[in-house]
Structure 1
Amino acid sequence: MASEDTMLLTQHKNALCLAFSPRSAAYAEVAAYVLSASATTARQCQCQLRLGLLRDLAAPHSQLIVPAGFFLAGQQPSDKDRVVLTGKSTAARFVSRLLAPQLYASLALDKQAKVDQWLDDVRQATDDAKLNVILAKLEKPQQFALVDPTKSPLNLTLADLAVWDLARQHTSKNKAADQWVAALEKAAPALKDAAAQVDQVLATTHVLDEYRFEITKELARITGLGEDFIFPLVENKYPKDAASGDFSIAVPRMKLPGSPAEIAKDLESKFTASPKISSVKASGVFLKIWIHNHLLRDRLIPRVLNQGEKYGQNSSGFGKVSLVEFSSPNIAKPFHVGHLRSTIIGNFIENTLQANGWTTVTINYLGDWGKQFGLLAVGYLKHGNEEALEKDPIRHLFEVYVKINAEATENPAIHDEARAYFARMEEGGTEALGMWKKFVDLSIVKYREIYGRVNVSFDLYSGESHFRAQDKCVRDVVQKLKDLDLLKLDQGAQVINMEEYKLGVAIIEKRDGGMMYLGRDVAAAVERQKEYKFDNMIYVVGSQQDHHFKQLFKILELMGVPWAEKCQHVNFGMIKSKDGNMSTRKGTVVFLEDILDNVQESMLEVMKRNEAKFAQIQNPTFVADTIGITGIMIQDMGSRRNKDYEFNWDRMLAFEGDTGPYLQYAHTRLCSIERKAGFDIPATVDMAPLTEPVAAALLDCIAMYPDVVREVGVQLEPCSIVSYAFRLSHAVSNCLEELYVMNQPPEIASARLAMYKAARITLGNALRALGIVPLDRM
C-alpha cells in the first residue's frame, strides 16, 4: 500500500472544520482565523478553515473539528485522533493558541483572566437582561477592558471578538453597541471579511430546515421539550396534497404523558401561526402542518442559483475520513459487466459521502495474488501466444484462463501444477514473478482505460500482493491472533473457530504456509487504520461474500481493535444474463468494453436520424458514449442494490419511460430553454408569477433534494437518487407542457426561467452524485 496521502487527504489533515447554526453563528471563531492571516506570526496561513452548517438550526454551540493527523504547513502529520471542540469560547481559544497567539495565548496572565471573564459573560448571556448589560457596556468599552475602535493601536483580544460577535447578532437593541460594531469593522476590515464568510454559509441554510425550525420552536414553547429533541421529529411530506399537509410530526415520538390523539388536539389548539406557518391540524396521533408556500418559493430559487453545483451538500461528515474499497477486479481477467456493480456503486458512495462533507479515500484492491495466477501461468505456458498477447492482452489471457479451467476440470493434476507455480512466486522466483508482473501491468493499463469511460478514478491502487505470507504486517497479525489464543492448528492449517457466533471455521493460513484471502484482509484492515485513522471503511462487494465479511469483522472485534465497528460491508445482488448468472470460469461473460462500444454505436445511429441537431453537437462520439453509459448505470442503480437484475439491452437503450437516456434528455431540454431564452436571468427576480400548481409541485421537488442527499448518505442506496431524478424530471415535464418562457411578459419569463435553471442545477447535481456526466446537448 502506498505510504503517501492522497491530495484530498493531505488537504483534509491541513484543515480545521467549523460547523455552526444560525443560533451559534461563528463570527468570533472565523474572525480569529482571519486575523491570523494578517498577524505577524511564524504560523500564519498554515492551515485552511472549512465552514459549514450544523443540521440542528437550534444548536446553541459551534463545533470545531480537528481531524485525525492534523498538521500545520511545514510540519509532519500528527498521530493524534480526531477531536471535536464544542462552544465559541473553546473553539476561539484553540484557534488563537494555534494561529493567533496575540489574541489570547501571548497576553499577560492578568489580561488573560479579563478575557476569560468576558468569554464567560458572553457564554452566559442567554436572556435579554444579561444581554442588555453587556451591550450597555459598549458605551464606554475601555472601562471594561475592551478596545475603543476610534483609537490606535487596535490591540484586539478574544474578548473583543466575542463581544463583537454577540452585538452583531443582536443589532438594533442598543445604539451604542451598533455604533461600536460599525466602528470596529471599519478599523479592522478583517472582521467584516469574517462576517461575510459566516453570512455566506448561513445563506445556504436548507429551506425546508427553516420551516422545521419554525415548527420546532413553537412546539418547544408549548411542550417544554428541548428544541434539539423535537427538530429531527418534524418530517417533510412528499408528494404533497391538500389533506396530508406540508410537514407532520408523530406525536407518540414526542414521548409526552397521556393519549397521543388527545395531545395532538391540544397541540393544535395551542399552536400559533406565523409568517412561515399557515395552519396545523390534528389527525389521529399525527399533527399536520401547512406552510405559506410563497415564502418557500421566494427563498428556494435564489439559493439554488447561488449555490449551483454545491446545492444539496451539507457538513455532517466534517472532519471525518471514509475509506471506500470498490471494483477490485482480478488481474489478467477482462473488466466484464459483472464487475460493473461494485464500480459504479462504489463511485456513487464516494460522491455521496463527499456531498455530506466527508473526506474520502478510494481504494482499488486488486486480486493480484493467489493460486489463480499459478493456474493462469500454467495455462499460458500451454496455450499462450506472444503475438496474440501483444495484439490484445486482456482477451488473450481471458481465453487462456477459460481453457485451462476447462482442462483442470478433467485433469485435477493441473491444479497441482498451478499451486507449485504459485509457490515459486511466493518464494520470489525471478521467472515466475516476471510473468506475474507482465500480467499485472497489462491488466492495469486496460482497467484505467475502462474506468475513464465510466467516469471513475481511484486514489490508490493496492492489492493482495501487498499482504503476502512473509510480509511483516501479515506475520504481526498472525502472531497477535496466536497471542490472543484465537488461532488454532487444524489438519496443518491455522484456523479460527467461530462456530459459537454461527460463522463456522475461518481458515487464516493454509497447510503450506500461504495466506488465505481472509488473513490478508485482516492484515490490510489493520494497516489501513494505522495509515489513515479512518472513521469508517466501506467494502463494496457482492452479497455472495456476506459470510466472508461477517467473519472478517468478527475477527477484528475479537482482536479487540476499537475501530472494528467502523467497518461496513455494502453488498449488492448479481447481474444476470438470460442464460443465468455470468461467470468468468465458464466463459459466458459479457465484456463491458464491448457493451460500451455497442451502446455508443447504437446511440450514434439514433442521433444521426435528426441531422439538424446532430450537426450542432461538437463531439457526437462523446455524447453517444455518455448517453449509453447513462443507460447502463441507471438500469443498474434503478432498484435496491441487494436485488439481482437481468441485463436488458432494449430497456437500457430506450428513450421512453424511466431510463438513463430519458434523464439526459430532460437535462438537455432544460439547457436548451436557457440557451433559447434570449436573455439572462436578472440578479433579482420576483417569483410571484409562479402560482400554478405544476410550478408548486416542481418547487417542492427541488426543495427536497438536500434531504435526499442526507438520507442517502446514511442508506447508501443509489436507487433513492435515481428515483428522485425521475420525480424531478417528471415534474419538469409537467411544467414545460404548461409554462412557457418564450413570448411571455418579462416578469413571467424571468421567473419561469429562474425556476427551470434551478431545476437544471438540481437534476445535474443528482446525476453527478450517481457518477453520470450531465449533457448540455444530445
Structure 2
Amino acid sequence: MAALSSHQVEPLARHQGTFYLSFSPKTLPYAELAAYHLAAAQAPKSAPAHSIRVGLDHNLLAPAAVLTVPKGPFAAEKTTLTGKTNIVRFFSRVFAAGPAGASALSTSSLYPESAPELKARIDDWIDRLRTAPGTQLAAADVVKALEAAAPTKALVGTATTIADLLAWDALLATGASSPKLAGWLKSIHSAPALANAAATIDGLVETAPQLDVFRFEIVSQICALTGSTPDVIYPLLEEPRDRKNGDISLPLPRARLPGNPIELATSLAQKFKCNDLITKAAAAGPFLNFTYNRDTLRNRTIASAVGLGPQYGANATGFGNFGIVEFSSPNIAKPFHAGHLRSTIIGSFIKNVLDASGWGTVSINYLGDWGKQYGLLAVGYERYGNDEELEKDPIRHLFHVYVKVNNDASENPAVHDEARAYFKKMEDGDAHAYGLWKRFRDLSIVKYKEIYGRLNVQFDIYSGESQYSLGQMRDVLHELQDLGLLVPDQGALIVDLKQFDLGVAVIGKTDGSLLYLSRDIAAAIDRKKVFDFDRMFYVVGNQQIHHFKQLFKILELQGKTWAEKCEHIGFGIIRSKDGNMSTRKGTVVFLEDILDEAGSHMHEQMRKNEVKYAQIPDPDSVADVVGQSATMIQDMTARRSKDYNFDWDRIFSFEGDTGPYLQYAHSRLCSIERQAAPLEVTPEELQSIDFSLLTEPQAFTLVEAIAAYPDVLREAGKTLEPCTIVSFALNLSHAVSSAIDVLWVSGQAKPLAHARLALYVAARITLGNALRLLGLKPLTRM
C-alpha cells in the first residue's frame, strides 16, 4: 500500500518545527522574541530545523503573551507557555548549546544552569519581575534598580543573559531610561537580534484590525469604570438598531452589572472620556451608544489595507493548531461531476480560511480507488479499453468502460464473479493486476490535477481507500471484537448503535469481507497517529450525515478521546431545472464540461466589446477564469447546507450578484490604477497622502466596507461558510461601484487624485484577498 512521501508530510513537519507566539499591545513580548533569536543563533547545527511565527492576539487587552509549542522535536506533547519568565527560560533551555563541562560563563546559553552564582543573580532579576505590582514595573523602579546595578555592557556576567533581556524589555515597555544607563541600553539594543525583535513586535501592533482598536478602547474604559472584564464586555458590543444613534452599542442589561441599567448607562456616558478614537458616548435607555472618529477610521483603514497587502484581514486565532481537511474525493472510473464541485470548492475554502487564521493545515484528497468495482473495471478494460483513449482522457474513458461492463454484468451475473476474482488478485499483490490498477490511478490523478488547476485547488496529499491494507482493517476488527462492540448479525458484522439512535453500523461480513466504514475507521486512527491533528474536517454531502455520525460514535466507543475533534462539514445537493444534471451534455455532466461550457459562453460575451477584447492579452484564459468564477459563486452564494438549482442562465449572466460582477469590480479598480500612472500608492508613500480630502459619503461607505473585512474573515473561520465571504465581496463591490460613479481620479488635482487612488487601492487589495479566499483568481482585465 502507498506510504506518505516526504513532500506530502512537509506541512506537518513545518508545523511541528514552528513556535507560535501571540500577544496583545498590552503585553509586548520584546524579551521573548529576543530570547528566541539569541538562543536560536547559539543552537548547534545538529539541532532540528525551527522557525517562529508571531501574531497579534484578538483580545487587544490580553494580559499575557502566549507561546504554543506543537508536539514534535521541541515538546513531547503540545505545550502552552505564558509569561516572560516561562517563555524566555524555555527558549534559553531548548536551544542550549556547547559541549558538556563548558565554562560557567560560556556564551552558549542565556541561562547557564551550571553556574550557580550567575544563575542566582539571574533568578533575582526574574523574581523582581514576577513580584512587581501590576503587569509592568513602574518606570522609576526599573531605572532605580538598573542604576544600582550600574551595568556597562551586560547586567550580570560578561555576556547577555535573560536578566539583560528582561531589563531591556521593561525599559522598552515603560519608555524609561537615564544618562547613567544610556551606554548599557545602547549596547544591548544594538544587538541585531534584539533590534529585529523590537521592530517585529512594533510592526505587528500596527496590524490590529482597525474596528477592534476602536472596540477595545471602549472595552478598556468600561472595564475600568465597572470592574468587569473584556471577555464579558467585548462579545456584547453590537450594531445599534438605528445607526443615527452611533456606530456601536453596549446593551447594559446583558452585562449583568449591579444597579439600574438605565441609570448606569447615563452615568457611564458622563464618565467616558472621548478621544481621537471615540468622539461620543450617549445613553439611550439601557443602551450605551458610541460614535467612532470617522476621520481616524478612514486614515487607519486605508493605511492598514495598503500596508498589509495580501495579509490584510489575516489573523492569529488558529496559532498552534493543526487541521486536516479532506475534500473532493472522487471515485476513479466514475464521473468527476458537478456534485464534486461542491466538496472541492467548499473544502478548498475551508483550508484557505484556516491558513488565513494561522492554522497549520494539510489537505487530503481521499480517492475512491479500491474495491471490487476495480476488478469490474479491469474486466471491462480487457473488453473495451483503448490505451490511446486512456492516455488522452483517463477519467472519461474509464467511465465509459465502467458503464459498458456494468451493462454486461446486468445481463450476465458471471461477470461479477470475474470481477471478484480479479480484485482478489489485486489484494494478493499480483504484479499485472496491481500494475494495471496503478496505471488507472496515476493517469486519473494527472487529469484530476488539470481540472483542479482550473479551480485554483491543490492538495498536499492524494490518499485513498487503497492506502489501508486488509491487515490494518482487520486490526480495527479485532479491536472492536476485544471491546465487545462487534457482533455477528444475519451474515454481517455490526456495531449496534441503536441506543444512540444511530441504528446498526455494518463493518463487514462474516465471510471476511470488510466494508468501507472499516477503512474510514482505520484512516482516522492512522491520521491521528501521523498528524496528531487538532481538528479533522470531512467535507462530504449531507447524504452522508448518518455515516459520519456512526463513524465518530464508533471511534468514541473505542476510547478515542480525539473523536470529538472530527467534524463532518455537510452540504446540499445540486439540482437542475429538469431534475438532473443533463441539461446540456446528456445523462452525465462532467465538471470539465461545465467549466468548458461556462468559459466558452463568457468568451462569446467578451467578444461583444471589441475595444476591451483587443486589450486582453490572453482572452481564452480570462474567459476560463470568468466562467469558473460564475460557476463557483453560484454555488457559494447560499449557505452550504442548502440544496440549490444549477442555473445556466444565472451562470452566464454578467448582471446582478454573480461571479462575473465580482471580477468586473476588481478589474475596474485595476483599470483605475493603470489610468492613474505615473501616480501610484505604496506603503512608503502613505505618510504623504492627505486623506482628509476624502469627505464624501461614498468614500466613508467604502472605508467601512474595507474595515469590516478582518471581522468577516474571523467569522468565516468560525462558521466555515463561504457565503459569508461572498456576501462581503458583493457588498464591497457595490460600495466600489457607487464610489467610482462619484469619486473620480482622472482629471483631479494631484493631492485629491492621490487620496482617492489610495482608497481604490485599499479596496482592490481587500476585494482581491476575499476572492482568493474563495478560491478565485482576481482578474486585472476583462
Relative to the length of structure 1, the TM-score reads: 0.92
Partner in structure 1 of residue 760 of structure 2 = 756
Question: 2:726 is matched with which residue: 695, 713, 722?
Answer: 722
Read off the aligned partner of 2:141 and give its amino acid letter: I
Shift of 1:763: 0.2
CA–CA distance in 2 between the matches of 1:524 and 1:45?
29
Report the 3-state secondary structure (helix = DSSP H, G, I; strand = E; otherwise coil) of the residue aligned with 1:530. helix
Read off the aligned partner of 1:725 and give its amino acid letter: A
Retained in 2: the 8 A contact 1:23–1:60? yes
Read off the aligned partner of 2:519 and give its amino acid letter: R
Report the 3-state secondary structure (helix = DSSP H, G, I; strand = E; otherwise coil) of the residue aligned with 1:243. helix
Q: Are residues 1:91 and 2:94 paired? A: no
Shift of 1:193: 1.9
Q: Are residues 1:170 and 2:174 paired? A: yes
Report the 3-state secondary structure (helix = DSSP H, G, I; strand = E; otherwise coil) of the residue aligned with 1:140. helix
Q: Taking structure 1 as reference, are residues 668 and 118 closer, same or farther at Cα in structure 2, changes over 3 Å only?
A: same
Aligned length: 762
Cα distance per residue 1:133-173 (max 9 Å; x no partner):
53232562535xxx3239999511111111211111111x5
Q: Are residues 1:342 and 2:346 paired? A: no
Shift of 1:561: 1.0
Read off the aligned partner of 2:340 and give its amino acid letter: H
Name which of structure 1's ranges 153-162 and 749-758 shifts more when overlaid on structure 2: 153-162
Report the 3-state secondary structure (helix = DSSP H, G, I; strand = E; otherwise coil) of the residue aligned with 2:109. helix
Report the 3-state secondary structure (helix = DSSP H, G, I; strand = E; otherwise coil) of the residue aligned with 1:282. strand
Q: Taking structure 1 as reference, are residues 485 and 772 closer, same or farther at Cα in structure 2, changes over 3 Å only?
A: same
Partner in structure 2 of residue 704 of structure 1 = 708
Partner in structure 2 of residue 74 of structure 1 = none
CA–CA distance in 2 between the matches of 1:300 and 1:351?
23
CA–CA distance in 2 between the matches of 1:388 and 1:637?
34
Retained in 1: the 8 A contact 2:155–2:164? no
CA–CA distance in 2 between the matches of 1:572 and 1:242?
35
CA–CA distance in 2 between the matches of 1:43 and 1:111?
28
Retained in 2: the 8 A contact 1:96–1:103? yes
Report the 3-state secondary structure (helix = DSSP H, G, I; strand = E; otherwise coil) of the residue aligned with 2:138. helix
Q: Taking structure 1 as reference, are residues 255 and 404 closer, same or farther at Cα in structure 2, changes over 3 Å only?
A: farther
Q: Are residues 1:501 and 2:504 paired? A: no
Partner in structure 2 of residue 75 of structure 1 = none
Cα distance per residue 1:93-114 (max 9 Å; x no partner):
0011122552114461232232
Retained in 2: the 8 A contact 1:167–1:181? no
Retained in 2: the 8 A contact 1:328–1:366? yes
Report the 3-state secondary structure (helix = DSSP H, G, I; strand = E; otherwise coil) of the residue aligned with 2:599. helix
Report the 3-state secondary structure (helix = DSSP H, G, I; strand = E; otherwise coil) of the residue aligned with 2:642. coil
Name which of structure 1's ranges 175-184 and 13-22 shifts more when overlaid on structure 2: 175-184
Retained in 1: the 8 A contact 2:250–2:289? yes
Partner in structure 1 of residue 699 of structure 2 = 695
Report the 3-state secondary structure (helix = DSSP H, G, I; strand = E; otherwise coil) of the residue aligned with 2:26. helix
Report the 3-state secondary structure (helix = DSSP H, G, I; strand = E; otherwise coil) of the residue aligned with 1:18. strand
Report the 3-state secondary structure (helix = DSSP H, G, I; strand = E; otherwise coil) of the residue aligned with 2:174. coil
Partner in structure 2 of residue 57 of structure 1 = 60
Q: Taking structure 1 as reference, are residues 130 and 198 closer, same or farther at Cα in structure 2, changes over 3 Å only?
A: closer
Partner in structure 1 of residue 124 of structure 2 = 117
Q: Taking structure 1 as reference, are residues 194 and 613 closer, same or farther at Cα in structure 2, changes over 3 Å only?
A: same
CA–CA distance in 2 between the matches of 1:58 and 1:510?
58
CA–CA distance in 2 between the matches of 1:284 and 1:417?
80
Q: Are residues 1:68 and 2:68 paired? A: no
CA–CA distance in 2 between the matches of 1:381 and 1:743?
71
Partner in structure 2 of residue 27 of structure 1 = 30
Superposition map of 1:316-335 within 5 A = 316-335=317-336
Partner in structure 1 of residue 105 of structure 2 = none
Shift of 1:581: 4.1
Question: 1:183 is matched with which residue: 183, 186, 191?
Answer: 186
| Identity among equivalent pairs (%) | 52
Superposition map of 1:601-620 within 5 A = 601-620=600-619
Report the 3-state secondary structure (helix = DSSP H, G, I; strand = E; otherwise coil) of the residue aligned with 1:287. strand
CA–CA distance in 1 between the matches of 2:39 and 2:350?
36
Superposition map of 1:302-701 within 5 A = 302-385=303-386, 388-389=389-390, 391-406=392-407, 408=409, 414-469=415-470, 471=471, 473-582=472-581, 588-678=587-677, 679-681=679-681, 682-684=685-687, 685-701=689-705
Name which of structure 1's ranges 283-292 and 709-718 shifts more when overlaid on structure 2: 283-292
Retained in 2: the 8 A contact 1:150–1:187? no
CA–CA distance in 2 between the matches of 1:467 and 1:198?
46
CA–CA distance in 2 between the matches of 1:285 and 1:748?
43
Partner in structure 2 of residue 233 of structure 1 = 236
Partner in structure 2 of residue 137 of structure 1 = 144
Retained in 2: the 8 A contact 1:58–1:228? no
Relative to the length of structure 2, the TM-score reads: 0.92
CA–CA distance in 1 between the matches of 2:640 and 2:43?
55
Shift of 1:198: 1.0
CA–CA distance in 1 between the matches of 2:624 and 2:671?
20
CA–CA distance in 1 between the matches of 2:156 and 2:126?
24
CA–CA distance in 2 between the matches of 1:168 and 1:19?
18
Partner in structure 1 of residue 103 of structure 2 = none
Provide the alpha-carbon RMSD of the alignment: 2.6
Shift of 1:200: 1.3
In structure 2, list runs of 5 or more residues that go unmatched: 97-107
CA–CA distance in 2 between the matches of 1:333 and 1:694?
51
Shift of 1:9: 2.4
Report the 3-state secondary structure (helix = DSSP H, G, I; strand = E; otherwise coil) of the residue aligned with 1:723. helix
Report the 3-state secondary structure (helix = DSSP H, G, I; strand = E; otherwise coil) of the residue aligned with 1:49. strand
CA–CA distance in 2 between the matches of 1:123 and 1:610?
70
Q: Taking structure 1 as reference, are residues 181 and 600 closer, same or farther at Cα in structure 2, changes over 3 Å only?
A: farther
Retained in 2: the 8 A contact 1:538–1:569? yes
Shift of 1:59: 0.9
Shift of 1:384: 4.0
Q: Taking structure 1 as reference, are residues 750 and 154 closer, same or farther at Cα in structure 2, changes over 3 Å only?
A: farther
Shift of 1:256: 2.4
Shift of 1:715: 0.5
Shift of 1:91: 0.5
Retained in 2: the 8 A contact 1:542–1:573? yes
Shift of 1:257: 4.1
Q: Taking structure 1 as reference, are residues 539 and 244 closer, same or farther at Cα in structure 2, changes over 3 Å only?
A: farther
Retained in 2: the 8 A contact 1:321–1:535? yes
Read off the aligned partner of 2:280 and give its amino acid letter: S
CA–CA distance in 2 between the matches of 1:710 and 1:169?
29
Retained in 2: the 8 A contact 1:3–1:531? no
Partner in structure 2 of residue 2 of structure 1 = 4
Name which of structure 1's ranges 313-322 and 6-15 shifts more when overlaid on structure 2: 6-15
Read off the aligned partner of 2:126 and give its amino acid letter: L
Partner in structure 1 of residue 100 of structure 2 = none
Retained in 2: the 8 A contact 1:43–1:99? no
Shift of 1:662: 0.7
Name which of structure 1's ranges 675-684 and 375-384 shifts more when overlaid on structure 2: 375-384
Partner in structure 2 of residue 81 of structure 1 = 77
Retained in 1: the 8 A contact 2:67–2:80? yes
Name which of structure 1's ranges 728-737 and 190-199 shifts more when overlaid on structure 2: 190-199
Cα distance per residue 1:595-618 (max 9 Å; x no partner):
222222222222222233222222
CA–CA distance in 1 between the matches of 2:657 and 2:181?
57
Q: Taking structure 1 as reference, are residues 129 and 564 closer, same or farther at Cα in structure 2, changes over 3 Å only?
A: closer
Q: Taking structure 1 as reference, are residues 379 and 418 closer, same or farther at Cα in structure 2, changes over 3 Å only?
A: same
Report the 3-state secondary structure (helix = DSSP H, G, I; strand = E; otherwise coil) of the residue aligned with 1:563. helix
Shift of 1:181: 7.0
Retained in 2: the 8 A contact 1:322–1:535? yes
Retained in 1: the 8 A contact 2:168–2:185? no
Read off the aligned partner of 1:762 and give its amino acid letter: T
Retained in 2: the 8 A contact 1:36–1:45? no
Superposition map of 1:251-262 within 5 A = 251-257=252-258, 260-262=261-263
CA–CA distance in 1 between the matches of 2:510 and 2:146?
84
CA–CA distance in 2 between the matches of 1:396 and 1:267?
73
Retained in 1: the 8 A contact 2:147–2:181? no
Name which of structure 1's ranges 102-111 and 91-100 shifts more when overlaid on structure 2: 102-111
Partner in structure 1 of residue 250 of structure 2 = 249
Report the 3-state secondary structure (helix = DSSP H, G, I; strand = E; otherwise coil) of the residue aligned with 1:23. coil
In structure 1, list runs of 5 or more residues that go unmatched: 72-77
Shift of 1:62: 0.6
